[in-house]
């Protein structure tokens, strides 16, 4: 009962921000739809962004290592070197990196799908049909990526990012419609 009340209060408190929530959702839907128009470019941008994030991670690791001598020095240096090497590789060769990441993802989808299927068949879970369906879809998606590899590596990451943006945008729009139906709660007042 308390969970339902706190959820209603949370939705009610978001009511005065409903316009921003709708705007965010629509913006993500539009950006995702545009991204579907050129999934190859979005794939390259995503891989390069990951490369920059790894380089930033290496910088943070170095700063942390200089300021705090905690843990194994060898492993921290190995982590820094791996971050730098991988980040630079992703930035210099985004096409090869995208193809490689897609092959790794295909193997991951197949392996996890098979393991989930075996686990669901051998368990006594309620509604295990959904787990079985999810595992079959994962295996099929992995096989499709693998069969169409290396060409799937050029567009799949961008396609996944675009679909994620569209679905996340619709989630925000649906949240805004739920907020509209929630009972109103007073907006927080600014301190005097």
pLDDT tens string 124-151: 877 788 888 888 988 998 898 899 988 8
Q: What is the pLDDT of residue 150?
A: 87
Q: How far apart are CA 41 and CA 47, in angstroms?
A: 10
Whether residue 4 lies inside any domain: the answer is no
Note down the domain range covering 42. 18-181
Closest CA to 101 of 48, 35, 137: 48
Q: Is residue 8 part of a domain?
A: no
CA–CA separation, 148 and 160 (whole Å): 16
* 168 assigned to some structural domain: yes
Is residue 6 situated within a structural domain?
no
Side-chain-facing half-sphere of 186: CA atoms under 13 Å = 3
| Predicted confidence (pLDDT) per residue in 55-76, tens digit | 999 999 998 888 877 667 888 8
Q: What is the pLDDT of residue 1?
A: 45
Q: Is 126 left (phi over 0), alpha (psi -120 to 50) or beta?
A: beta
172 — pLDDT class (breaks 50, 70, 90)? confident
- pLDDT value at position 93? 94
Q: Is 68 helix (H, G, I), strand (E, B) or coil?
A: coil
Structural domain tally of the chain? 1
Q: Residue 156: its pLDDT value, please?
A: 87
Residue 173 placed within a domain = yes
First-to-last CA distance in the chain?
35
If DSSP codes are grouped into helix, strand and coil, which group holds residue 164? helix
- Using CA atoms, how far apart are residues 136 and 156, in angstroms rounded to an integer? 19
Q: Which residues does 33 contact at the CB level (< 8 Å), separation at least 6?
A: 162, 166
Asked whether 153 and 101 are in contact (CB, 8 A), the reply is: yes
What stretches of 42-159 adopt beta strand conformation (E)?
Answer: none
- Domain membership of residue 12 (yes or no) is no
Asked whether the CA dihedral 159, 165, 168, 172 is positive or negative, the reply is: negative
Mean pLDDT over 81-87 rounds to 95
DSSP assignment of 1-14: -HHHHHHHHHHHHT
Residue with the bigger pLDDT between 18 and 54: it is: 54
Residue 5 lies in a domain: no
Residue 141 lies in a domain: yes
């Amino acid at each position: 009962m308390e969970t339902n009340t706190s959820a209603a209060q949370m939705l009610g408190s978001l009511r005065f921000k409903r316009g921003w929530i709708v705007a965010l959702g629509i913006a993500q839907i539009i950006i995702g739809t545009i991204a579907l128009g050129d999934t190859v470019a979005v794939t390259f941008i995503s891989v390069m962004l990951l490369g920059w994030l790894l380089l930033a991670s290496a910088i943070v690791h170095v700063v942390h290592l200089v300021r705090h001598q905690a843990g194994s020095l060898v492993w921290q240096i190995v982590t820094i070197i791996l971050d730098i090497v991988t980040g630079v590789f992703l930035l210099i060769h985004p096409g090869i990196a995208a193809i490689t990441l897609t092959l790794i993802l295909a193997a991951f989808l197949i392996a996890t799908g098979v393991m989930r299927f075996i686990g669901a068949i051998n368990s006594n879970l309620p509604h295990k049909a959904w787990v079985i369906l999810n595992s079959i879809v994962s295996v099929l998606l992995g096989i499709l990526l693998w069969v169409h590899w290396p060409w799937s590596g050029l567009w799949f990451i961008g396609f996944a990012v675009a679909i994620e943006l569209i679905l996340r945008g619709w989630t925000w729009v649906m949240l805004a419609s739920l907020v509209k139906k929630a009972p109103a709660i007073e907006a927080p007042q600014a301190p005097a």
